[in-house]
Amino acid sequence: MSARKPYLAANWKMHMTADETTSFFDRFLGELGAAGDRDIVVCPPYLALAGAVERCRRSPVRIAAQNMHEEASGAFTGEVSAPMLTAVGVEGVVLGHSERRALFGETDEALARKVPAALAAGLEPILCVGESEEQREAAETEAVLRRQLEADLAEVGDHSLAEVVIAYEPIWAIGTGKTASPEQAEEACGFIRSLVSGRSAAAGEAIRILYGGSVKPANAADLLGREQIDGALVGGASLDPADFLAICTAAGSGRQ
């Protein structure tokens, strides 16, 4: 059984106003209980971050953003920086989500700057990597993961690697209802761990590697029970407090 603490993250994408965020936490925190044996992180849109931080004070839930700019300030219209996020009590940030890579041109070069900038500011990066359907069919999954991780973590020192959370998110499984099988997810997460271990055996042992892609209450226990899968990054199902709670409860219940 792994000593790594289970990690459950909710990626709300462009859903939830500030008021809807408060209603979500009224229901979610009411049912959650202590949950000290797992990390629970919710990533609302920017405008709901400050309210979410306030609402989750003295609760086990931490709040993360869905993106940030790598510079601390400057002429970058429309962007938000790491110090702006920490100033309102945000503790983490999703980086490299496939929607940001595909729709907003986020590159591995930018991620190589963003990941260390997040760490330097005291934000926990949740770095997303994963292959497309065509790449999986062409047996390129491992090559894609290796390329993304080598590039995105190039400027992170070996001693800081375990402070990054990595989410394996096969693009073909995100928002599609097609979940990777527990075997596929386990294999890819194990491969990611072997890459990290290649740089630092201690970091490979300690780093949390999540699976993301159509995780639901019905498939959560199967995925989260695997030795190499330390948690989940959940999109659609995290918008429903009961569903996200069921997924959080499934984590850690019977790892293989």
131 vs 203, beta carbon nearer ligand PEP: 131
Report the residue number, 40 or 234, with the smaller CB distance to ligand PEP: 234
Binding mask 190-219 toward ligand PEP (x if CB under 6 A, else -) reads ----------------------xxxx----
- Would you call 69 a catalytic residue per the annotation? no
Residue that the structure tokens 């928002």 belong to: 175
- Would you call 155 a catalytic residue per the annotation? no
x-or-dash string of contact with ligand PEP, 41-70, rule CB under 6 A: ------------------------------
Positions in 120-179 near ligand PEP (CB under 6 A): 169, 174-175
Catalytic residue among 69, 70, 97, 131: 97
∠ at Cα 250 (244, 254), nearest 5°?
170
Which residue is closest to ligand PEP by CB? 235
| Min dist. Cβ of residue 14 to ligand PEP (A) | 11
Nearest-angstrom CA–CA distance, 213 and 78: 28
Give the Å distances, CA to CA, from 34 to 29, 54, 249: 9, 18, 12
CA–CA separation, 194 and 4 (whole Å): 16
Establish if 11 lies at the interface with ligand PEP (CB under 6 A): yes
Q: Least CB distance from residue 128 to ligand PEP, whole Å? A: 7
Compute CA distances 15 → 21, 24, 39, 119, whole Å: 9, 12, 22, 26
Q: What are the structure tokens assigned to 30, written together?
A: 């009411």
CA dihedral 141, 176, 61, 73 (to 10 degrees): 70
Residues assigned a catalytic role: 97, 169
Sites of contact with ligand PEP (CB under 6 A): 11, 13, 169, 174-175, 212-215, 233-237
